[in-house]
Amino acid sequence: MYKVSTFESLRYRNFRLFWCGQLISLIGSWIQNVAQGWLVLELTNSPFLLGLVNSIGSLPVLFLSMFAGVIADRVRKRNLIIMTQTALTILAFALGILTSTGLVKIWHVLIIVFLVGVVNAFDMPARQSFVIELVGRESLMNAIALNSSIFNAARTIGPAIAGIMVSSLGVAGCFYINAISFIPVIIGLSLINGEFRVKREDSSTSLIEDLKLGLKYLRSNQNVFVIILMVAINSIFGMPYTVFMPVFARDIFKVGARGLGFLMASVGIGALIGALVVASIGWYRKKGRILFVGIFSFSVFLIIFSLSKSYVLGLLMLILTGFFMIMFTATANTLVQTYVRDDMRGRVMSIYTTFFAGMAPFGSLQAGAISSRWGVSTAVFLGGVINLFMATFILVRFRSIKDM
């Protein structure tokens, strides 16, 4: 049995260039997210508008990702990613200029956030489906897990840096830093070697026809379809627990803003450790079993967290939920990419992206409705129970997935 080390994928020069560039860029993106929220509060002092700004960026991902996946299958993915990263650079600079000149208004922020969402709708399917072209199938799970590790490292590092930068450089400075952070990605992509030919053979069909072919192909690939369905259910019912962290910190654990920081950091720490562990077991052939261990354990620890009244126990449960959340999502991503045809990968990953990221507003909506009537603990508890029931049903009904 072929085994890989934790950082196996970094032996590939192309992936190393891609990975290092992303690490810098993701830190910049988290810096901008924090500064952007601060700017919106300064401009409006409105929690509603703060939530609106955060939600409006998800809408393009929900409505455009599937069409973006068709385009990703029609063009060289590297070129498409260079274009999207360049567009994100321009938008970050634009927000920085508007802010530093004192011209910025809330409608400027809303438009730029929406445009960032449009760009991300094209960037995410292309970036996710490009990884296999850099490392091959054998090291795919390792590469996806390492990508998850830098996302969670950036989620821990970026906000901490942003707190210092907002007070020292101001919010405009944070936007400029984010714009500059995209440059290493663009340079890295430009230095990547390889032809990366388009896998799609027929170029005569329309975007709509190509999308229909992708959906038809996914329906015929039952196990992949069910895995994406698992991701969608988890996004709607499992993932919204992070939205309620301020309420848990203030009303349940009574630890205030500082305690909130530790709660959020616990999720990130667990996810980072989980990503590194998953990266080190990429050699394991029956990844479907890892998938079910991840979703079952995530659901159980989420339920325990929802019932916890102890802050220390809550921190421990969040570390474990973060750990098994990454085990589930990284394995799901790997299985989907492994078991689809090369010419369909962009379209299938766009559907995956739609369900993984685009379902977030619906998850927040249902969890918010439940919490307003029965409290946040009940909302999180029910989400964990629904997740657990879903995983059990799928394990019994589609037993072949565990042997994938």
* CATH code assigned at 345: 1.20.1250.20
**What is the sign, positive or negative, of the torsion defined by CA atoms of 373, 376, 377, 382?**
positive
pTM (2 decimals)? 0.77
Instruction: Please give the single-letter amino acid code of residue 324.
Output: F
The reported pLDDT for the residue numbered 261 is 65
CA within 13 Å, CB half, 50: 15
Q: Is 126 helix (H, G, I), strand (E, B) or coil?
A: helix
Q: Are residues 317 and 342 in the same domain?
A: yes
* DSSP string across 340-366: S-GGGHHHHHHHHHHHHTTTHHHHHHH
Give, in degrees to the nearest 5, the angle at Cα 336 between 332 and 338.
115
CA within 13 Å, CB half, 252: 23
The reported pLDDT for the residue numbered 2 is 46
Q: Are residues 382 and 247 in the same domain?
A: yes
Token pair listed for 77: 């993915």
Q: Which of 139, 159, 192 is the last residue of a domain?
A: 192
What does the mean pLDDT of the chain come to? Answer: 85
Closest C-alpha to 323, from 355, 292, 301, 353 = 301
Measured CA to CA, the distance from residue 353 to residue 45 in angstroms comes to 32
Q: Are residues 49 and 82 in the same domain?
A: yes
In a domain, 197, yes or no: no
Measured CA to CA, the distance from residue 97 to residue 90 in angstroms comes to 10
Instruction: Quickly state the pLDDT bin for 241 (edges 50, 70, 90).
Output: confident
Q: Are residues 292 and 239 in the same domain?
A: yes
The reported pLDDT for the residue numbered 209 is 83
Q: Which of 148, 169, 192 is the last residue of a domain?
A: 192
Q: Are residues 149 and 120 in the same domain?
A: yes
The more confident residue out of 3 and 160 is: 160
pLDDT tens digit sequence for 72-131: 888 888 999 999 999 999 999 999 999 999 899 999 999 999 999 999 989 988 888 888
Q: Are residues 67 and 44 in the same domain?
A: yes
Torsion-angle region of 2 (φ positive above 0: left; ψ -120 to 50: alpha; else: beta): beta
Range of the domain at 349: 205-404
Q: What is the mean pLDDT of residues 7-11?
A: 85
Residue 111: partners with Cβ closer than 8 Å, 6 or more residues away: none
Q: Are residues 145 and 264 in the same domain?
A: no
Measured CA to CA, the distance from residue 26 to residue 180 in angstroms comes to 12
Q: Are residues 299 and 272 in the same domain?
A: yes
Measured CA to CA, the distance from residue 206 to residue 195 in angstroms comes to 25
Per-range mean pLDDT, top range of 196-210, 268-282, 323-337: 323-337
Q: Is the pLDDT of residue 136 over 90?
A: no
In a domain, 198, yes or no: no
Q: Are residues 187 and 223 in the same domain?
A: no
The reported pLDDT for the residue numbered 212 is 84
Measured CA to CA, the distance from residue 386 to residue 390 in angstroms comes to 6
Out of 134-148, 247-261, 388-402, least confident range: 247-261
Report how far apart, in Å, the C-alpha atoms of 283 and of each of 93, 116, 255, 297, 338 are: 42, 36, 42, 21, 13
Number of folded domains that form the chain: 2
Q: What is the mean pLDDT of residues 302-327?
A: 93
In a domain, 200, yes or no: no
Q: Are residues 378 and 245 in the same domain?
A: yes
Under 8 Å between Cβ of 85 and 47: no
Measured CA to CA, the distance from residue 72 to residue 133 in angstroms comes to 13
Instruction: Quickly state the pLDDT bin for 355 (edges 50, 70, 90).
Output: confident
